[in-house]
Amino acid sequence: MASSGNRVVLSGIGGDEVTGGIPTPIPELEDLLARGRLATLARQLKVWALNKRKPWIHLFAEAARGFFSPGLVGIPKFRRPATWLHPRFAKSYWPALTGYPSRVRLFGPLPSFQDNISALDLLRRQLACTTLPTDPCHERRYPFLDRDFLTFLFALPPEQLVRPGQRRSLMRRALVGTVPKEVLDRKRKAFVARAPMAAISAEWSSFFEICRCMVSDSLAIVVANIFCEQARRAHEGQEIPIVPFLRTLRLELWLRALHREGVFSCPVSPDTGGLVLTEEKDCSGIRDRSVSQLGTI
């Protein structure tokens, strides 16, 4: 970038959330429920059940539960905090770590529009946590978050964006003849998951040293043993929740940087072989700021 004099990086953040990159029929089914279009609902349940290879009653229950309070029906598994977070920390910051869940309102805007606004708010929180690039100095721009583009997409029925077996359906249809067929028909971006796991395997000795003495463990944010087990699974090529894992790793590196700057003290304990906090009261603010780096996306 420095040698070419480039100053702007285009980011694809928001593409999956607003163009139908997440292959879920729930917003469409919720719209049909709210409108009382039961015949269309039954037909779409059958089509999506065959595509997802799930009983239609499970899809119906998943769509219906959105209209009830999360405190009544619970939090879906994919929204729950990572298993390696300390139970007390997860309990204290449960709303933030689960993405501030709320029920879908039956009256007012359609459920799909409510879901879009919720996703947009989540993206806002995500971008608020990113640091400004300094080396080289440049700016990031987000074409998928353009206001006019979002206004257009949010006015469309969800079945135009996601169809059984086809993510980003409208985009794929619009780009026929412009983008190569091999790209349009690509099923998923598997390299997004493979690249970090390959990096973990390549730098396993460094990961082992990080897991052996974790600052976040001394602050009762992460349970080091569980986190290390997940790192070992990734090293062996097994599937793990890679996004929460990378966020936790980023948090650990940030805490280590604060420790090196003398913000707080964490000497090694001869009894446990781990890191022990010397002054609990000095780190309450650090624990609060850690939540922003662990929030769900």
pLDDT tens across 214-229, in order?
Answer: 888 888 899 989 998 8
Is the pLDDT at 290 greater than 80, yes or no?
no
Is the pLDDT at 143 greater than 60, yes or no?
yes
| Amino acid present at 110 | L
Poorest-confidence range of 3-12, 146-155, 158-167, 227-236? 227-236
Domain's final residue, options 130, 158, 184: 184
CA 146 – CA 170 distance, rounded (Å): 17
Domains in the chain: how many in total?
A: 2
CA neighbours closer than 13 Å in the CB half-sphere of residue 125:
18
Domain's final residue, options 136, 160, 184: 184
Regarding whether 135 and 253 lie in a shared domain, the answer is no
Answer whether 204's CB lies under 8 Å from 212's CB: no
Regarding whether 260 and 217 lie in a shared domain, the answer is yes
Regarding whether 113 and 141 lie in a shared domain, the answer is yes
Regarding whether 116 and 58 lie in a shared domain, the answer is yes
Does residue 228 lie in a domain region? yes
CA 282 – CA 221 distance, rounded (Å): 15
Does residue 90 lie in a domain region? no
Please tell me the predicted confidence (pLDDT) of residue 261: 80
Regarding whether 137 and 51 lie in a shared domain, the answer is yes
CA 54 – CA 60 distance, rounded (Å): 11
Regarding whether 140 and 34 lie in a shared domain, the answer is yes
Regarding whether 226 and 165 lie in a shared domain, the answer is no
Does residue 227 lie in a domain region? yes
Most confident of the ranges 76-85, 104-113, 260-269, 273-282: 104-113
Domain that holds residue 132: 8-67+105-184
Please tell me the predicted confidence (pLDDT) of residue 289: 63
Q: Which residues of 34-69 are buried (b: 16+ CB within 10 A; e: fewer)?
A: beeeeeebeebbeebbeebeeebeebbebbebbeee
CA 154 – CA 205 distance, rounded (Å): 47
Is the pLDDT at 280 greater than 50, yes or no?
no
Whether the bond between 70 and the residue before it is cis, its omega within 30 degrees of 0, is no
Answer whether 1's CB lies under 8 Å from 138's CB: yes
Domain's final residue, options 130, 161, 184: 184
Poorest-confidence range of 18-27, 111-120, 156-165, 264-273? 264-273
Beta bridge mates, 8:
139
Regarding whether 199 and 179 lie in a shared domain, the answer is no
| Rounded alpha-carbon distances, angstroms, from residue 188 to 16, 47, 54, 241, 253 | 11, 21, 20, 16, 30
Describe the chain by its helix, strand, coil percentages, rounded to 5.
Answer: 55, 5, 35
Mean pLDDT of the region 149-155: 95
Does residue 224 lie in a domain region? yes
Mean pLDDT of the region 233-255: 85
Mean pLDDT of the region 191-198: 64
Mean pLDDT of the region 50-70: 92
Is the pLDDT at 19 greater than 60, yes or no?
yes
Q: What's the pTM? A: 0.75
